[in-house]
Amino acid sequence: MVDSSQVCVVPFGIDALVVVLAATYGEIFWIFPPIVTAVSLAGAALTYQIGRTAGDTGLPLFVAPRHRERIKARLDRMGSGALAVAALMPPPFPLTPVLLTCGALGFDRRRFLLVFGMMRLIRFSAEGLLARHYGSQVLEALQRESLQTAVTAITLVGLAAATVTGAVLWSRMRLQPA
């Protein structure tokens, strides 16, 4: 499963998974947030490593200069707090540039994983609790045909965007001298 903390983004994908699973299996809702957090943390670690490998000189391939400078300033000013806030933000917040920049700037890996993991666990636990409490209403809403049509359309747009993003990144990587 692809999470919004990875280079390839599927907005709401992992959040929707937590909500549906917690609403469907309310008696064991508590097991889903740690599992999903581990998946999200793996994606974040991969993205961080890509940023670390790219370094400050390769970061412009992935993050626009105006965003890069703003993220750097926030990380310099707030440190781990900036990462914590970013990890709690729901989609469509652009988390990937933050993770790439943390890697490129050499943000302490242990601190990065600890802060990101804890904040994601808090976020997914809150979603799971809400889904457990409002589970029947959530499942009813998810079964509406209009919502299913909208989700299908959004998924197709997301897949198209991911394909275009992958093609652009691939072409940029090919243009760089070895």
DSSP for 82-147? HHHHHHHPPTTS-HHHHHHHHHHTT--HHHHHHHHHHHHHHHHHHHHHHHHHTHHHHHHHHT-HHH
Q: From CA 25, how far away is CA 132, in angstroms rounded?
A: 8
Report the number of distinct structural domains present in the chain: 1
For residue 56, is it within any domain? Answer: yes
* DSSP-assigned states of every residue in 6-39: SSS--TTHHHHHHHHHHHHTGGGGGGHHHHHHHH
User: Range with the lowest mean pLDDT among 8-22, 101-115, 136-150?
Assistant: 8-22
The helix/strand/coil state of 49 is helix
Q: Give residue 175's pLDDT.
A: 65
Q: Which structural domain, as residue segments, surrounds residue 85?
A: 13-143
> Domain for residue 77, yes or no?
yes
Residue 8 has pLDDT above 60, yes or no: no
Q: Is residue 168 part of a domain?
A: no
- What pLDDT score was predicted for residue 113? 96
In a domain, 161, yes or no: no
36 in any annotated domain:
yes
Tell whether the model's pLDDT for residue 20 goes beyond 90.
no
Is position 19 within any domain?
A: yes
pLDDT at 38: 95
Higher pLDDT among residues 8 and 142, named by residue: 142
Asked whether residue 26 is assigned to any structural domain, the reply reads yes
Q: Would you state the pLDDT for residue 85?
A: 93
pLDDT confidence bin for 7, thresholds 50/70/90:
very low
Rounded to 5 degrees, what angle do the CA atoms 59, 89, 49 make?
Answer: 30
pLDDT reading at 9 higher than 80: no
**pLDDT above 60 for 106:** yes
- Residues 115-170: tens digit of each pLDDT: 999 999 999 999 999 988 887 787 787 778 887 888 889 889 988 988 998 888 88
Cα–Cα distance measured from residue 98 to residue 73, given in angstroms and rounded to the nearest whole number: 11
pLDDT digits (tens, 9 = 90+) for 27-82: 888 999 999 999 999 999 999 999 999 888 888 888 888 888 888 889 889 989 99
Report if residue 148 sits inside a domain: no
In this prediction, residue 152 carries a pLDDT of 86
Cα(170)–Cα(123) distance, rounded to whole angstroms? 32
Give the residue among 168, 164, 167, 146 at the shortest CA–CA distance from 156: 164
Which residue, among 142, 30, 129, 51, has the nearest Cα to 97 in the 3D structure? 51
Residue with tokens 């699973």: 21
